[in-house]
């Protein structure tokens, strides 16, 4: 009889099991910096897809923006947002100087 009671207890606990802890997070960002980089990734990848290119990973963009302090990322996004071409200005600012034939 004890086994049956244990089974009933387990069954009732299983029915009231909370699945909310298994829901996917709304954002993949795990830090403040990652949450600030997300809009860049979304905007840049949308323009890449529209141009026929494959989207790049967030880690690629984060690495390119590694020298930009976290405090200045919001202002950097606003600057790019106010420009005519968000993607082109981002590439120009983040890639730095191009190598010339003299190097």
In a domain, 53, yes or no: yes
Q: pTM for this one?
A: 0.64
Can you give the pLDDT at residue 5? Answer: 58
pLDDT tens digit sequence for 17-29: 666 667 766 666 6
Per-residue b or e along 63-99, where b marks 16 or more CB atoms closer than 10 Å to that residue's CB: ebbeebeeeebeebbeebeeeeebbebbeeebeeeee
Can you give the pLDDT at residue 49? Answer: 94
What does the DSSP assignment read for 39-58? Answer: HHHHHHHHHHHHTTPPPPPH
In a domain, 6, yes or no: no
In a domain, 13, yes or no: no
Structural domain span for residue 67: 30-95
More confident residue, 101 or 50: 50
Can you give the pLDDT at residue 29? Answer: 60
Question: What number of CA atoms fall less than 13 Å from residue 17's CA on the CB side?
Answer: 7
In a domain, 1, yes or no: no
In a domain, 101, yes or no: no
In a domain, 83, yes or no: yes
In a domain, 71, yes or no: yes
In a domain, 58, yes or no: yes
pLDDT tens digit sequence for 38-49: 999 999 999 999
- CA-to-CA distance for 37 and 59, rounded, in angstroms? 10
Confidence category of residue 16, pLDDT binned at 50, 70, 90: low
Can you give the pLDDT at residue 90? Answer: 93
Overall number of domains in the chain: 1
- CA-to-CA distance for 57 and 32, rounded, in angstroms? 18
Tokens for 3, please give them: 């086994």
């Amino acid at each position: 009889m004890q086994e049956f009671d244990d089974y009933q207890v387990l069954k009732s606990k299983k029915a009231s099991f909370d699945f909310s802890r298994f829901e996917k997070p709304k954002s993949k960002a795990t830090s403040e910096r990652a949450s600030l980089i997300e809009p860049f990734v979304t905007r840049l990848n949308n323009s890449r897809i529209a141009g026929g290119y494959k989207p790049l990973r967030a880690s690629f963009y984060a690495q390119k923006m590694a020298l930009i302090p976290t405090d200045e990322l919001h202002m950097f996004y606003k600057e790019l947002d106010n420009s005519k071409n968000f993607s082109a200005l981002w590439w120009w600012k983040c890639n730095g100087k191009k190598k010339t034939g003299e190097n």
